[in-house]
A and B are shown apart, each in its own frame.
Chain A
């Protein structure tokens, strides 16, 4: 988890992908005002963005979902497969659950709404650069409400180990890496994962990650913040 951006000496490099010119430039300007962030490039379509990201290899790509042609979620999937060091942060006008789940399943580092404030946006970019999943406050609230109103309303007691596993799931780690980080066997991690999913009534790792983030189990690492 110790990355260049986390060290805090060098600004987080960002590519903004957005088809609406005014909003794209506004976003870039807003990010540039934060001394810890710098916009390395801008693109108005996913195809253009993929080339740009491949060339610039930024820390974070801030991507709108609805783009002409290839959509932002497909772009996120492509980036995840091609440019390992770039994390995709979705910046969408829509809080649609399908978009959120789709984006997280494509391996994005976060999902943010365009209605977020400048501070929220800048913080989220830094958090994403640090490798932690970040969710818009409103979406997170909505998901929490859903889980609270669900059948398992009483927060089920996870063991300390299970909480660790959940936190690492939320950071997007596969079982093998979770095992090595926690110094456990792969089989043990697998059984912890299924026990976490079972206890929380979740059906996938993505939902587990969402649950963790919305319940503040996977808190952004302090080290990635630059104040």
Chain B
């Protein structure tokens, strides 16, 4: 391979004026040309003296051999230099006194030799250049492949290369270490399960894989389409990103939030219970004692009015304590269940607002896991309070649907609505409402959705799947059980 040709696209004339003078064989070729010129000169001199049987055109024709050889070996620069050299050596012969036709033949033949030199040399150069480019491209591709391979093999993240039809074509050492068996050739679904679904939409599903050390790690499946050979469809590369720590962190935050809510509810419950058990009962007792004093004949008449005032005050305090207790824990929720408690809540709302509120229950009403009941109640409470405070609604509807394998709570209003895609407006206004509701729903294993648009009202829906075993049925429609005996 002639190194001077590699790479640069040198102008033709530049190549021509740089013959390969350092090549010994080049000089052998030139020596051949000298020989042929000498032979030709000798034949011409001899045939000028007496007509000869040797045709003078033979050496000229033979010139094609060194010229072609130089072209093949050294390209344009070699062939042109040889042709020019031959022309120069032919000059003495052309200067010999002879008939003109003979000189004409020689000139034509020399022109032919030069033409062949240029033509063959040029094409040889072009051919070589093309071959060099191809060679370089190939080596670059090899280098790229080697780099990719290096990345693929040394990457700590497990990587699988998958065909369009979903079978695994390649797995890097990290992937092989993770799944232990040889996965090449197997369908990707066998290895990744639901994680392989990510291939379709390109989103990062998170999958759990049990490692050879028998601990469970979580991976996000990142999908990339990588080019295959030309004219083939791109392959799919799945990079498994280890999100175990990230997930654990999220879980910790979640558990902490859960704990906070739980502690808060427990605390409220405890305070409510204590207020109910002691102060409230004692106030009731005190009021009765005072009443007794008021009605006892021995009490001086001057005192009865004061005592009656004290009794009323005591009852007033009792009523306030009762309101505090009812505010601390959902009244009746524990004892009677969700629908009853919500009915009571709406009745309380009806005492303080003019907003018509209705509760519709569908499906077979039953008692649910206490956590779900509490979450649903708190969500309804928050949603209804939001409606009253912000929605400027004319109507409010609560629905409880116990059908379809879960509980669906909806709070629907026809108020002014808002844009749920702008969560900041809520936070800026100081309302953690939606966020809190969402968290509550999530912690009880449910899901909260909000549909709203300015001027379109708002629907808050919380959906809980049956998780906790549904306990005894509430049987709230059992109205007439004792009615007969009452008469």
Task: Enumerate chain A interface residues (CB-CB to B < 8 A).
Answer: 1, 20, 22-23, 26, 30, 65-66, 71, 73, 76-77, 79-81, 84-85, 87, 93-99, 101-102, 105-109, 114-115, 117-118, 131, 142, 145-146, 149, 151, 171-174, 177, 204-206
Contacts and interface: CB of A to CB of B under 8 A. Distances in A.
Given A73-B336, A93-B276, A97-B343, A22 B482 contact: no
Interface of B: 276-277, 280-282, 284-285, 287-289, 291-292, 295, 315, 318-319, 322, 325-326, 331-332, 335-336, 340-341, 343-345, 347-348, 350-351, 354, 356, 476-487
B282 A22 contact: yes
Contact of A118 (B291, B318, B350): B291
A80 B485 contact: yes
Tell me if B's interface is mostly helix, strand, loop or mixed. helix
Given A71-B335, A97-B344, A106-B481, A114 B487 contact: no
Nearest to A95: B322
Given A22-B285, A109-B486, A99 B332 contact: yes
Which 3 A-B pairs have CB atoms at the shortest separation, nearest pair first? Answer: A80-B482, A107-B482, A98-B344
29 contacts: A1-B487, A22-B285, A23-B284, A30-B288, A65-B335, A71-B335, A93-B284, A94-B322, A94-B331, A94-B332, A96-B331, A97-B343, A98-B341, A98-B344, A98-B347, A99-B335, A102-B336, A107-B479, A114-B318, A142-B351, A171-B486, A172-B486, A173-B483, A173-B484, A173-B487, A177-B487, A204-B479, A205-B479, A205-B480
Given A114-B284, A131-B486, A131-B487, A77 B478 contact: yes
Contact of B485 (A23, A84, A95, A142): A84
Contacts of A171: 486-487
A102 B340 contact: yes
A96 B288 contact: no
A15 to B, nearest CB: 16
Given A71-B335, A99-B331, 17 more contacts: A30-B292, A65-B335, A76-B482, A77-B482, A80-B482, A93-B276, A98-B332, A98-B336, A98-B340, A98-B345, A98-B347, A99-B335, A99-B344, A102-B335, A114-B284, A145-B351, A205-B479
Nearest to A99: B332
B399 to A, nearest CB: 15
Contact of B478 (A23, A93, A105, A146): A105
Contacts of B282: 22
Contacts of A172: 482-483, 486-487
Nearest to A88: B482
A115 B336 contact: no
A97 B348 contact: yes
Contacts of A174: 480, 483-484
A91 to B, nearest CB: 10
Nearest to A128: B486
A146 B281 contact: no
Nearest to B485: A84
A115 B482 contact: no
Contacts of B277: 20
A174 B482 CA distance: 10
Contacts of A205: 479-480
Contacts of B276: 66, 93
B485 A96 contact: no
Contacts of A65: 335
Contacts of B487: 1, 131, 171-173, 177
Contacts of B288: 26, 30, 118
A23 B285 contact: yes
B487 to A, nearest CB: 5
Given A97-B347, A142-B351, A177 B285 contact: no
Contact of A98 (B292, B343, B350, B479): B343
Nearest to B311: A117
Contact of A66 (B335, B477, B483): B335
A145 B350 CA distance: 10
A118 B295 contact: yes
Contacts of A26: 284-285, 288-289
Contacts of B348: 96-97
Contacts of A71: 335-336
A115 B315 contact: yes
A154 B36 CA distance: 136
A107 B325 CA distance: 26
Contacts of A204: 479
Given A107-B486, A131-B486, A171-B487, A96 B478 contact: no
A65 B276 CA distance: 12
B486 A105 contact: no
Given A93-B276, A102-B340, A171-B486, A115 B319 contact: yes
Contacts of B344: 96-99, 101
A105 B344 CA distance: 14
A146 B484 CA distance: 29
Contacts of B295: 118
A149 B354 contact: yes
Contacts of B340: 98, 101-102
Given A96-B344, A97-B347, A98-B341, A107 B332 contact: no
A87 B285 CA distance: 25
Contacts of A101: 340, 343-344
B318 A22 contact: no
Nearest to A83: B485
B335 A73 contact: yes
Contacts of B483: 80, 107, 172-174
A107 B318 CA distance: 28
A71 B334 CA distance: 10
